[in-house]
């Protein structure tokens, strides 16, 4: 949540920072701001609303040519999203400009103390308290580096901060605890940011900043210290293989539709290096070097939030069926506050696209305290989940920019399927026929999906026109399609703001069916599998109450509903990979038709780094 960027280099900082913020805007979009220093004065420009409002404001003023500065795009936690609460925040004497992502938990005590020393506050934020504490620190320390360390030693909570100060032109300081931060190492310029896309056009060389580290960058140097005692820290510069194009819309109207259409490639990329083909038999074998040193667990606890949680629910079906490992799937925000009974021999599997979700990280911490090893399934290389895990499997989906997660789930399903196959084989509990069929058909899946996506989109468009007036939707499914029903409902509500409930189809008659009337449509997952006859009778019950039905189904399935949406049939669980984009496309086309802000839905932000 919140996007931050700090720059020290040779280019005019304001346009570069605003461009960087544009690539981070998915992290928050309540307000935005930028600060640079010129002639010993801070130049601060902030605006309420999306980045476009800041752009508009900047177009009417002469901005400085300063070549260092900080910028922020906000997702409000403390203080309503108005300009005075927008970042950067200045200290009382306007010598320091600071941006902050996260929450300072003890800000009230610190504020009370600072007020007694004569500090006045202009905003309602916890962030302004921290910048003033740093200013106070500057009075007791001879360098800004020491002042920042002095202040950070007193705060509790989560933060990623970056700041510039009038008495140190050309320098940006940054630090983090439990909020993401990465440094970009360029030629004659250096960057800090919440996420790599912010500086991707300028460098692919990155240094991942760890909790408790404090960074000092100038155009020609970068140094990392332990914030508590300023001990220097050796860091490794890594080169990431994301390209700039992957973080741009590439001619699509929205990131979301681009990412939906990337799913065939996402499956191939996730499989890359994980299926070894035996040239004599042409049968592939799943190899997962990331976890080869680990015995298959006796029990698995999946910890995740939102869409990643839905992926976990889906994975449970396969891991239990193929690998005969009992699986509990836990909503991370619940798990972290329980006293779960975690037996020896169990493994915690944390699923997270961003790798920065606060609840998932807290779940990892708890599982660790209870002695469980952690396997992270994560998209963002070097993220907190990756670093907190004992074993890490990357989903290799590339940058996901749309706030509504799509391709990340597809990659998570692929990885979970590989895990089920791998453990099933290693334990010797999965029959050879299922194993080789799954591997074979997985390899063919990307091309089948790729060919089908344009037709799916056309069908989604058609149906979205007919149902865009609906106030509510049910999404129903059984077996592996129940988690997909939850996901379909989540996608629709988060981007189109139409109320939607995902249900296990068999649960309808235990209460929810009371809601059905001719204006309350149902989106049914009625694909061909052994549970189809059960789904069919649930749908008859819905129809008997006058409810209209859109049914995702396969050729040759007999079903008398208002709208049959026929998807090509693939093998067994792989049908989920066909159904998922259909659900995403229906939500997308509905939201777009209704004129909603698809990539940046209201009240949401990508990467939920606060509780």
Residue whose C-alpha is closest to residue 74's, from 172, 4, 163: 4
- Candidate residues 77, 95, 171, 308; the one interacting with ligand F6R per rule CB under 6 A: 308
- Candidate residues 194, 353, 411, 584; the one interacting with ligand F6R per rule CB under 6 A: 353
425 vs 596, which CB is nearer to ligand F6R? 596
Catalytic residue list contains 410: no
DSSP code for 333: H
233 vs 594, which CB is nearer to ligand F6R? 594
Helices (H), 428-471: 432-467
Catalytic residue list contains 2: yes
Q: How many CB atoms lie within 10 A of CB 193?
A: 29
Ranked by CB distance to ligand F6R, the top (closest) residue is 306
Residue whose C-alpha is closest to residue 87's, from 140, 141, 31, 38: 31
- Site for ligand F6R contains 360 (CB under 6 A): yes
Provide the token pair at 328. Answer: 């509990």
Reported residue count of the chain is 611
Residue 438: CB minimum distance to ligand F6R, A: 25
- Site for ligand F6R contains 405 (CB under 6 A): yes
114 vs 408, which CB is nearer to ligand F6R? 408
Residue 295: CB minimum distance to ligand F6R, A: 27
Fill in the per-residue mask, 494 to 533: x = in contact with ligand F6R (CB under 6 A), - = not in contact.
x---------------------------------------
585 vs 608, which CB is nearer to ligand F6R? 608
Residue 502: CB minimum distance to ligand F6R, A: 13
Residue whose C-alpha is closest to residue 575's, from 539, 537, 529: 529
- Site for ligand F6R contains 352 (CB under 6 A): yes
| Matching residue, tokens 């508590």 | 228
Residue 430: CB minimum distance to ligand F6R, A: 28
Of 76-84, 284-292, 349-357, 415-423, the segment contacting ligand F6R by CB under 6 A is 349-357
CA 572 to chain CA mean position, Å? 29
Which residues are bridge partners to 306 per DSSP? none
Q: How far lies 304's CA from each of 314, 326, 330, 562, in Å? A: 12, 17, 7, 36
Provide the token pair at 412. Answer: 């998570």
Q: How many CB atoms lie within 10 A of CB 214?
A: 22
Of 70-78, 282-290, 351-359, 554-562, the segment contacting ligand F6R by CB under 6 A is 351-359
Residue 1: CB minimum distance to ligand F6R, A: 10
Residue 356: CB minimum distance to ligand F6R, A: 7
Query: At 91, phi and psi to the nearest 5?
Result: -75, 175
557 vs 604, which CB is nearer to ligand F6R? 604
- Site for ligand F6R contains 305 (CB under 6 A): yes
DSSP code for 424: H
Q: Which of 2, 305, 378, 410 is catalytic?
A: 2
Provide the token pair at 82. Answer: 């108005």
396 vs 553, which CB is nearer to ligand F6R? 396
Residue 603: CB minimum distance to ligand F6R, A: 12
List binders of ligand F6R among 90-149 (CB under 6 A).
none
Encode burial over 235-270: b for 16+ CB neighbours within 10 A, e otherwise.
Answer: beeeebebeeebbbbeeeebbbbbbbbbbbbbbbbb
Of 83-91, 353-361, 419-427, 582-590, the segment contacting ligand F6R by CB under 6 A is 353-361
Beta pairing, strands 391-394 & 499-504 = unpaired
Residue 392: CB minimum distance to ligand F6R, A: 14
101 vs 354, which CB is nearer to ligand F6R? 354
Residue 562: CB minimum distance to ligand F6R, A: 27
Residue 604: CB minimum distance to ligand F6R, A: 8
What residues contact residue 550 under an 8 Å CB cut-off, 6+ apart?
463, 467, 521, 522, 523, 524, 561, 562, 563, 565, 586
56 vs 611, which CB is nearer to ligand F6R? 611
203 vs 353, which CB is nearer to ligand F6R? 353
Of 43-51, 73-81, 301-309, 516-524, the segment contacting ligand F6R by CB under 6 A is 301-309
- Candidate residues 306, 424, 477, 479; the one interacting with ligand F6R per rule CB under 6 A: 306
CB 425 within 8 A of CB 439: no
Q: Which of 216, 493, 536, 606 is catalytic?
A: 606
Distance of alpha carbon 290 from alpha carbon 317, whole angstroms: 22
SS3 50: coil
CB 108 within 8 A of CB 122: no
73 vs 607, which CB is nearer to ligand F6R? 607
Residue 468, Ramachandran bin (φ over 0: left; ψ between -120 and 50: alpha; else beta): alpha
Provide the token pair at 188. Answer: 């004659």
Residue whose C-alpha is closest to residue 296's, from 370, 375, 361: 375
| Catalytic machinery residues | 2, 606
Give contact residues for ligand F6R (rule: CB under 6 A): 305-308, 352-354, 357, 360, 404-405, 490, 494, 607-608
């Amino acid at each position: 949540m919140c996007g931050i960027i700090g720059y020290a280099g040779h280019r005019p900082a304001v346009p570069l920072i605003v461009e960087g913020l544009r690539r981070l805007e998915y992290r928050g979009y309540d307000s935005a701001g930028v600060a640079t220093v010129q002639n010993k004065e801070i130049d601060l420009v902030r605006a309420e609303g999306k980045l476009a409002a800041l752009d508009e404001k900047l177009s009417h003023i002469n901005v400085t040519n300063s070549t260092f500065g900080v910028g922020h795009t906000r997702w409000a936690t403390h203080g309503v999203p108005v300009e005075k609460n927008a970042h950067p925040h200045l200290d009382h004497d306007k010598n320091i400009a600071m941006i902050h992502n996260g929450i300072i938990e003890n800000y009230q005590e610190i504020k009370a103390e600072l007020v007694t020393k004569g500090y006045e506050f202009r905003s309602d934020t916890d962030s302004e308290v921290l910048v003033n504490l740093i200013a106070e620190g500057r009075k007791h320390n001879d360098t800004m580096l020491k002042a920042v360390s002095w202040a950070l030693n007193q705060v509790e909570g989560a933060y990623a901060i970056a700041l510039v100060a009038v008495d140190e032109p050309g320098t940006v300081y940054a630090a983090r605890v439990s909020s993401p931060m990465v440094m970009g190492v360029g030629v004659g310029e250096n960057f800090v940011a919440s996420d790599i896309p912010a500086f991707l056009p300028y460098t692919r060389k990155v240094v991942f900043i760890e909790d408790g580290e404090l960074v000092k960058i100038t155009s020609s140097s970068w140094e990392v210290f332990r914030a508590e005692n300023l001990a220097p820290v050796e860091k490794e510069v890594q080169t990431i293989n994301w390209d700039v194009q992957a973080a741009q819309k590439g001619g699509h109207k929205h990131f979301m539709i681009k990412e939906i259409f990337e799913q065939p490639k996402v499956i191939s990329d996730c499989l890359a290096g994980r299926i070894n083909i035996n040239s004599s038999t042409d049968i592939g074998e799943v190899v997962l070097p990331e976890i080869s040193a680990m015995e298959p667990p006796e029990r698995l606890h999946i910890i995740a939030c939102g869409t990643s949680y839905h992926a976990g629910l889906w994975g449970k079906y396969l891991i239990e069926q193929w690998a005969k490992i009992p699986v509990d799937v836990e909503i991370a925000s619940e798990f972290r506050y329980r006293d779960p009974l975690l037996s020896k021999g169990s493994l915690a599997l944390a699923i997270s696209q961003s790798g920065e979700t606060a609840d998932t990280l807290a779940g990892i911490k708890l599982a660790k305290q209870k002695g469980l090893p952690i396997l992270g399934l994560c998209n963002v290389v070097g993220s907190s989940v990756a670093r907190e895990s004992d074993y890490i499997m990357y989903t290799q989906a590339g940058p996901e920019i749309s706030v509504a997660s799509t391709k990340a789930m597809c990659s998570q399903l692929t990885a979970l399927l590989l895990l089920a196959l791998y453990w099933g084989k290693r334990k010797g509990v999965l029959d050879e026929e299922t194993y080789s069929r799954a591997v074979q058909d997985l390899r063919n899946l990307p091309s089948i999906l790729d060919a089908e996506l344009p037709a799916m989109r056309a069908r989604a468009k058609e149906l979205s026109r007919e149902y865009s007036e609906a106030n509510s939707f049910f999404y129903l499914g059984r077996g592996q399609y129940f988690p997909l029903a939850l996901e379909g409902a989540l996608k629709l509500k988060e981007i189109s703001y139409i109320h939607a409930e995902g249900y296990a189809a068999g649960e309808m008659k235990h209460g929810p069916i009371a809601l059905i009337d001719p204006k309350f449509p149902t989106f049914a997952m009625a694909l061909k599998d052994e549970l189809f006859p059960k789904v069919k009778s649930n749908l008859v019950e819905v129809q008997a109450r006058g409810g209209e039905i859109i049914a995702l189904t396969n050729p040759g399935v007999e079903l008398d509903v208002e709208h049959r949406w026929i998807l090509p049939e693939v093998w067994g669980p792989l049908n989920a990979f066909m159904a998922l984009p259909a659900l995403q496309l229906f939500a997308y086309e509905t939201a777009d038709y209704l004129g909603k802000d698809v990539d940046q839905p209201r009240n949401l932000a990508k990467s939920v780094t606060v509780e």
